[in-house]
Amino acid sequence: MTLPPTLNRLAAAAAMAGCTLAVAACGTTGLPSAPVRATLETPSVGTAGQDAADDPAIWATATPARIAGETVHGFVAGTDKKAGLYIYGLDGAVLQFLAEGLLNNVDVIEGLVVDGRPQLLLGASDRTVGRHGIALFLFDPAGTDADNAVRPWGHVATDIAEPYGFCFGRRDGGIDGILIGKAGEVRQYRLGVDAAGRPAATELRRFDVGSISEGCAVDEAGDALYINQEDVGVWQYGFTPASRSARRSVGVTDGRALTADVEGATILQDGDRRYLIVSSQGDSTFGVWRIDGPQPVWAGRFRVEDSPTVDGVSGTDGIDALGGPVGPGFPEGVVVVQDDINDRGTQNFKYIDWRDIRAALGL
């Protein structure tokens, strides 16, 4: 990759200091990961004995909402990629399960209006035979009916052979969905509502990452799209479609900051600071970069170890994070991660208090 002049100068300075820009940090070699513990966990996903739990997405609300007969301050959506979509409470309990097929990555976003009512939009990469693309779901945050819940809304078809990664982002007053294929194909769609109240999608951009890719995250404030190329590292693209396929390296899988496979990606807003968090599946750690400046800056990494009540996390695939109040249990934010080897059954999801991660890394 050819770096722009500014990054070339930074790379030269880094080399003189004895460190590598591509790793995204001076002095990361040999640094241990900071230990943290999960606060709580979900039950195991229903598909036993297989690689099934995959990716979470977090939504929180200051105004209590009704879902599946429960009053909540938010929820966590989590995929069982062999069976469908779980909706968990902020306490980890199962609120709902939608048997919607082979859903891999999931994300959630506010800002869509359907039939005159603001709706929460959920989207997931869908590998179900005959339905490859994006599965879309709606939730009415103001709904008061006893049966108010997440409900299937529709589907966006794609030419990608095996949809893998997915993430949302807002741009120019609208919502874009980023779909990533297993082979590294990327499609960016503008999502909306047609005259009949059904999903509408327009393709805006397509490019190729280069090999197996999955996790993605949109930094709206920085006009950036982060994509993980599993055996290579983390790339920063522009979120604006006009940026096409231009990119720069954020971190590489050299066994120091990241170890292949690089899987999930998420962004957390903490006051005026924004952080990119990436799951390094090969060594069961999580890399963190601060991204509210002119370029990503390495902030450290952490691991999730055993607590007396919740086992540690290994081989994480998907990850999501949300800063600010997330229900009464997480007043400053929460990070939710998939756990590949769960000590009480099959794979599940763990919830980690952002304050613990921030303290462990000295952020």
| Tokens describing residue 157 | 């078809």
What's the confidence (pLDDT) of residue 31?
Answer: 57
Q: How far is CA 39 from CA 309, 336, 349, in A?
A: 8, 10, 11
What's the confidence (pLDDT) of residue 49?
Answer: 77
pTM of the model: 0.91
Residues 6+ apart with CB under 8 A from 91: 40, 329
Cα distance between residue 44 and residue 259, in whole Å: 26
- CA triplet 228, 124, 211: central angle to 5 degrees? 30
Closest CA to 233 of 191, 265, 196: 265
In this predicted structure, which of 8-22, 189-203, 211-225, 254-268 has the lowest mean pLDDT? Answer: 8-22
If you average pLDDT over residues 59-74, what whole number do you get?
Answer: 96
What's the confidence (pLDDT) of residue 234?
Answer: 98
Other residues' Cβ atoms within 10 Å of the Cβ of residue 255 = 12
Cα distance between residue 152 and residue 136, in whole Å: 6
What's the confidence (pLDDT) of residue 343?
Answer: 87
Percentage of the chain modeled with pLDDT above 70: 91
Any bridge partners for residue 121, and if so which?
109, 138
What's the confidence (pLDDT) of residue 47?
Answer: 82
What's the confidence (pLDDT) of residue 12?
Answer: 31
| Tokens describing residue 225 | 């799209």
Q: By the 8 A CB rule, do 339 and 348 touch? A: yes
If you average pLDDT over residues 3-9, what whole number do you get?
Answer: 34
Residue 26 has pLDDT above 70, yes or no: no
The answer to whether the bond into 208 is cis (omega within 30° of 0) is no
Q: By the 8 A CB rule, do 86 and 54 touch? A: no
If you average pLDDT over residues 196-201, what whole number do you get?
Answer: 97
Residues 6+ apart with CB under 8 A from 57: 76, 77, 78, 106, 107, 108, 122, 320
What's the confidence (pLDDT) of residue 357?
Answer: 98
Residue 22 has pLDDT above 60, yes or no: no
**Lateral strand order in the sheet of 185-193:** 163-171, 174-181, 185-193, 199-208
* pLDDT per residue as tens digits for the range 298-357: 999 999 999 999 999 999 999 999 999 999 999 999 999 999 989 888 899 999 999 999
